[in-house]
Amino acid sequence: MKKWFVTVFAALTVTLSSFSFAAEIDAKDPYFLINRVAENAFSRLKADKDQFIQNPELLRVVVREELMPYINVRYAAMKVLGPQARKASKEERDLFTEAFYDYLVASYAQILTQYTDQEISVEPAKKIDAKRKVVSVRVDILDKARPPIRLDFALRKNRKTEEWQGFDVQVEGVSMLDTKTSEWSSELRRNGIEEVSKQLIERSKTPITRDETTS
């Protein structure tokens, strides 16, 4: 499950972003967004596969350029904080958001080390009611050695720009945000946002390594 949670986020990394390529992707259609980012990211992974195998740390760059621009990190971070967000100061919320960003970059980069030429299938576009603010787009990861893995990417519509941004993914029904909320909730209550933020920053510094057993 853990390895597929990794491959899963390879799809998210490939599915939801790019600071450098953001201008090329129309984010006003969540289905188009998922398709285009997936195409951009996986093409990059395939083209430079040997380079990434030799130096997995370079995958952090892929994540920042091909994923993070299409993820609403602050919204996701506030959902993880839950009730603590309302009690926190602006400075604490900003600190946690920045730490959560670095944590996601590191987590997604580690996930991408699992990439071994899998293919993905994005569900056909559906008509979206203009009033809807959140949609889920299904993506199946296809691997010849295993049964398909289902991912459901949650995207939220920005009220000002009307663009869609990812904020969560369910892997076979398991929500990443719910998992992290459960994992960190007690620590946030006991030690506070600043301490947890420091821990996330430290975790984000862990070197990206490739599991040779998956090669």
Residues 145, 153: Cα–Cα separation, whole Å: 24
Tokens coding 186: 């007690």
What residues have CB less than 8 Å from 71, skipping those under 6 apart?
Answer: 12, 16, 17, 104, 165, 166, 167
The pLDDT-based confidence of 6 (bands split at 50, 70, 90) is very low
Q: Report pTM.
A: 0.81
Residue 59 confidence (pLDDT) above 50:
yes
Predicted pLDDT at 69: 93
The pLDDT-based confidence of 212 (bands split at 50, 70, 90) is low
Q: Which CATH architecture has domain 2-214?
A: Roll (3.10)
For the segment 117-146, the average pLDDT, to the nearest whole number, is 89
Residues 167, 74: Cα–Cα separation, whole Å: 9
Predicted pLDDT at 14: 43
For the segment 190-214, the average pLDDT, to the nearest whole number, is 89
Facing residues of 139 across strands?
122, 151
The pLDDT-based confidence of 24 (bands split at 50, 70, 90) is low
Q: Are 35 and 169 in contact (CB under 8 A)?
A: no
For the segment 1-22, the average pLDDT, to the nearest whole number, is 44
For the segment 195-214, the average pLDDT, to the nearest whole number, is 88
